[in-house]
Amino acid sequence: MLTSFAGSHLFGESYGTGTPWVLALHGWRRDHRDFDAVLAPPGMDAIALDLPGFGSAPPPDAVWGTPDYAGAVAAVLEEMEASVVVLGHSFGGLVAVHLAASRPDRIAGLVLSGAPLHRLGGARPKPRLRLRMARGLAARGVIGQDRVETLRQRYGSDDYRAASGVMRDILVRTLAEDYAAALAAVQCPVELVWGDDDTAAPLAVAEQVQRELSDAHLVVCPGAGHLTPLTVPGELRAAIGRLRT
């Protein structure tokens, strides 16, 4: 059953019967239901949100980055215990890192899984040549935006093709973000739970994050892909338990 939080600005699901101490943030194009198998078993008092623009939550009015998402989510902390463990999967992991960096007084630990915190191999790949050329021609008025959109649908990623309006602009903005400063500001313990067959955020990303953080523990899940909340919920639940203070 959906519940409103933070003065009805955010929506999600409550689990357990006590004051929540776990906050779960889902991935791009996902929603709070991804965490049912992780949080529904007894003993876990938690909130799983629908991030703005996904599930039941309307999109933001402006082009947000992940720090903006973290700022919105921070309001929910006032309805939780003083020490909160944040579980962030994929895009939700990016938001979770910013939340921990900005609210070290409230975040007792992070569980991150499938979060693309590093771009392996250097800079972000450029769009295909035809799309880049079309953008240049549209900027000079040679072709219309409808032609550019046709090429975007052909050459863009699945996430890009599925997004529209402000959510497409948010996707583009977040893909260009760098998380080094936010990671460096994380003070709490971090559990990294990663599938060794994750192609969206390869295991090497988790290994790099582990090297950068002073208090990080990596659990590798053999045979698991990107959607770890669905495939290895027990590993995520165990990681949350290790961070309980």
Strand order in the sheet with 190-195: 2-5, 10-15, 46-50, 22-25, 84-89, 107-113, 190-195, 216-221
Q: What is the pLDDT of residue 123?
A: 46
pLDDT (0 to 100) of residue 201: 96
The CATH classification number of 2-121+176-242 equals: 3.40.50.1820
pLDDT given for residue 144 in this prediction: 73
CB count in 10 Å sphere of residue 132: 13
For the chain, the domains span: 2-121+176-242, 129-171
pLDDT of 162 reads 72
pLDDT per residue as tens, the chain (245 positions) = 788 887 767 999 999 999 999 999 999 999 999 999 999 999 899 999 999 999 999 999 999 999 999 999 999 999 999 999 999 999 999 999 999 999 999 999 999 999 999 987 544 555 556 656 655 666 777 677 666 556 555 555 677 777 888 999 999 899 899 999 999 999 999 999 999 999 999 999 999 999 999 999 999 999 999 999 999 999 999 999 999 96
**Taking the model in full, what pTM does it have?**
0.88
